[in-house]
Amino acid sequence: MRSLLRWVFLFAVTLSVSSCKTKLHPTVHANQFYQIDASLAADSSIIQYYTPYKEKLQQEMSRVLGYSDLHLTKSREAESLAGNFFVDALLWKAKQLEPDVQASFATKGGIRADLKAGNVTVGDIFEMMPFENVLSIVTLSGKDMLRWADYMAQTGGQPAAGIELEIQDGKVTMFRVQGREVDANATYKLVTYDYLANGGDYVTFLDKPLSRTDYPQRIRETLMEYVTDLTKQGKHIQAQLDGRVKFIK
C-alpha cells in the first residue's frame, strides 16, 4: 500500500510539472502515509446515502424467477447440466428473434457459476453470467460449421444446442444439425454471443460469417426470460445430459 501511494504521488507531481510551460523542480521535504484499512471509522453520511440503493439492489437480486429440480453443475466435460441449460436458453431466445436459427454455441469458460437446486433468483443468474455480452446471430457456410466441429474436438467439447456431435480419436465422426448431416455447401444460422463472435476464447471459425447481427439482448437477460417463461408454463428447470456432444473411447 505504501509503495502504491508513493507511485501515485510521484505520478501526480510528474503530471503537474509536464502540464506547465515553466519547468519546476519540486522537492519532497517529508513523506506522510495514511493507512487504509478496517481501522478507519465509517462515514455515517456516506452510509446513509448509499443504504437505500443497497437495499433496493439486494431486493432485486433476491427476486425469485423460477425453480430448478437439479443442481446444474458446470464442468470441463464435453457436456454439463449448466452448459446445456445455458445454450438451450440461447437457442430458445434466438428462435424468437430469427425463427430459422438452428443451433447455439457457448464455451465452458463463459459460464461462471453453477445453478443450485431450488429457487433461482436474479442474483443466481448474475453469478452464472456476470458479463455484459449480447446475443449474436451469425450465418455460416457449411465449411465453417465443420471448422466449428473441429474446434469442439480440439477443446474437449463445448456447450451447444441443436446439434449431435461425435468425436473419436480427436476426429469428428458424426456432425448433425437439427438431425441432418452437415453439408459443406449449405448455410446455417448459429446463435452465440459477441465475445465469441469477436474471436474470444480462441474461436476462429466465426471469423468469416456470411452475415452477423448483434442484438441488444444481454445473455443474462435471456437466461432470466427463459426461466421466467418456464415458470409461467408451470415448469421447473430440468436440464439433462442427452449426449449431444459425445467423445467415443
Summarised one tens digit per residue, pLDDT across range 9-57 is 444 444 444 444 455 666 666 677 777 888 778 888 888 887 888 888 8
CB 63 within 8 A of CB 231: no
pLDDT tens digits for range 222-233: 999 999 999 999
Q: Tens digits of per-residue pLDDT, 103-145? A: 999 999 999 999 999 999 999 999 999 999 999 999 999 999 9
Q: What is the count of structural domains for the chain?
A: 2
Q: Do 192 and 126 meet the contact criterion of CB atoms below 8 Å apart?
A: no
157 and 39 inside one domain? no
Residue-level pLDDT at 23 = 58
Would the CA dihedral through 62, 67, 70, 75 be positive or negative? negative
- pLDDT score recorded for residue 218: 96
Q: What is the DSSP string of 65-106?
A: EEEESS-B---SSS--HHHHHHHHHHHHHHHHH-TT--EEE-
| Residue that terminates a domain, selected from 60, 85, 101 | 60
- Phi-psi map region of 69: left, alpha, beta (phi>0 left; psi -120 to 50 alpha): alpha
Percentage of residues in the chain having pLDDT higher than 90: 76
**Do 35 and 83 fall within a single domain?**
no
C-alpha distance from residue 168 to each of 96, 106, 179 (Å): 35, 22, 20
CATH number at residue 242: 3.90.780.10
Q: Which domain holds residue 29?
A: 2-60
The whole-number pLDDT of residue 54 equals 82
pLDDT of residue 29: 65
Residues 237 and 68 sit within 8 Å (Cβ to Cβ)? yes
pLDDT tens figures, 55-103? 888 888 999 999 999 999 999 999 999 999 999 999 999 999 999 999 9
Same domain, 127 and 211: yes
Cβ proximity of 129 and 111 under 8 Å: yes
Quick one: 70 and 55 in the same domain?
no
Cβ-based burial of 174 (10 A; exposed 0-12, middle 13-18, buried ≥19): middle
Do 69 and 166 lie in one domain? The reply is yes
